[in-house]
Each structure stands twice: as structure tokens, then as C-alpha cells.
Amino acid sequence: MLEVSKLRRDFGGLTAVHDLTFKVEAGEIVGLIGPNGAGKTTTFSMLAGFIPPTSGDIVFQGKSILGLKPHQVCKLGVTRTFQIVQPFPDMTILENVMVGAYARYTGTVDARRKALEVLERVNLAHKANTLGKNLNLLELKRLEIGKALATEPSLLLLDEVAAGLKDAEVDNILVLVRQLNKEGITFLIVEHLMKVIMNLSHRVIVLDFGQMIAQGTPDEITKDPAVLEAYLGKEA
């Protein structure tokens, strides 16, 4: 479904992502982890069209999406969420989600119906008429997923949707993602919380200094010496 080859991004003299190559198959949940500054969010931004790569290629469903703008990438079926939640503060929750739904539906009646449907899915239906600025963090995280869901993505890029949430709330999100995955949405997930990554991912890709240092099932990853070194440092 998604093929990333030799993806590279330089910021001045710093190489944030260094010749990164990986694949995501349809139906998978792939976790992308790594220490701070490993290049996870930069990778996401490139995949979604927010930052142009310095070199390399991104192929989605057989076609290169290099050079496309975010809204074009979204129309093709790749939608991202943001690590720092980005609601539309002075619009209601329903309107927030409708903006996403308008990516697929031009009519307001259809967009509203789709948005209400999504609000049910993310447990925000009772907040439909609340303004974006009046939500708490859990609700904002749900809204972030809801807005993205409304665009009917085939590949959903989740950037730290569980960060800052309490345990029970994290569980809520896990259940939701697993359900959506069963319904056919493919996920690429950036996450610091190991609980999320280990529970959800079929496969995990580990980045360090912009390079892939390991990939495999969650179990394999936790035993990989390169991964342990990246996270815990070299054994003395």
C-alpha cells in the first residue's frame, strides 16, 4: 500500500531522516518508534505532504505522491493527525468534523450525516454543539481522530494520539483503533507509549538518528540489541 524508498530530509546541515526505506501493507498496523529526535514526526510530515523530502520517493497505491500538497494526499486516502492537537477552536465539534467530511462529500447534508456518524464512533456525539476550545484533552484527542476519520482515509497516520492520557483513556483509544483496523483502515502510528505500540502493532519500525535500526514484531523488537542500545545506551 505504502512504499517509502530512500527517503531523506536535511535541515541545513542536519539530516533528520536518512535514506529511510520501508513498506506498509494494506490492513496492517505499523508502529514507528524511536528516541526523541529520531525523525518520526519529520517522516510523518513528508508522508502527508507537509514537508518536501530532500530526496527519495513515496509511493502510495502504486503512484508516487511526491510533490503533492497535503490536501491532495488527503484526497488520495492518506490523512494525518497532529501530535499537538489542532482543533478549530471557534467551530463546534460537529463543524470540526464536517470540515473533514467535506473532503469526500460536497453537499452539506451528506457531510453532516457523515460527521454525526463519525462522532458516534469516537464517542463525541453528546458534544456535537460544543466549541472546539471547550474540550478536554481526551476529547481533543478523540476529535483529532474523528476529523481524520471523516475524510475516509485508507491509511491513517496517527501522531502520538495517546500521549498525555490516563491509562483507562489510553485503553479507549486502543479499542477504537483496533476496531477501525478491522473495518479496513491501515495504520501507521508514531507513539512514545510502549503499551500502545506493543498492543496494537503488527510490526514495529525503530528509528534512531533518522535511520531504521530495526524492524519486526513487537516481541522481536524488544529483544533487539540495537534497539536496546538506542534507548538505554551501550552496556559498559
* CB proximity list for 112: less than 8 A, separation 6 or greater: 94, 98, 101
Residue 211: CB minimum distance to other proteins, A = 26
Segments in 15-107 forming alpha helices (H): 40-47, 70-76, 93-101
Q: Is 69 in the site for other proteins (CB under 8 A)?
A: yes
Taking the least distance from each CB to other proteins, the nearer of 41 and 215 is 41
Q: Is 103 in the site for other proteins (CB under 8 A)?
A: yes
- Report how far residue 120's alpha carbon sits from residue 156's, in angstroms, rounded to the nearest whole number: 19
Q: Is 79 in the site for other proteins (CB under 8 A)?
A: yes
Among the residue ranges 77-85, 120-128, 194-202, 226-234, the one whose residues contact other proteins (CB under 8 A):
77-85
Whether residue 48 contacts residue 78, with contact meaning beta carbons closer than 8 Å, is answered with: yes
Segments in the chain forming alpha helices (H): 40-47, 70-76, 93-101, 108-121, 137-150, 167-182, 194-200, 218-223, 225-232
- Report how far residue 39's alpha carbon sits from residue 48's, in angstroms, rounded to the nearest whole number: 14
Residue 184: CB minimum distance to other proteins, A = 19
Taking the least distance from each CB to other proteins, the nearer of 150 and 205 is 150
Residue 215: CB minimum distance to other proteins, A = 26
Task: Count the site residues for other proteins by CB under 8 A.
Answer: 33
Q: Is 145 in the site for other proteins (CB under 8 A)?
A: no
- Report how far residue 138's alpha carbon sits from residue 125's, in angstroms, rounded to the nearest whole number: 14
Q: Is 87 in the site for other proteins (CB under 8 A)?
A: yes
Taking the least distance from each CB to other proteins, the nearer of 62 and 107 is 107
Q: Is 29 in the site for other proteins (CB under 8 A)?
A: no
Taking the least distance from each CB to other proteins, the nearer of 33 and 101 is 101
Taking the least distance from each CB to other proteins, the nearer of 133 and 166 is 133
Kind of pairing between the strands at 203-208 and 29-33: parallel
For residue 235, report the phi and psi dihedrals to the nearest 5 degrees: -70, 140
Residues of this chain that bind other proteins (CB under 8 A): 48, 50, 69-71, 74-75, 79-82, 86-91, 95, 98-100, 102-104, 106-108, 111, 132, 147-148, 150-151
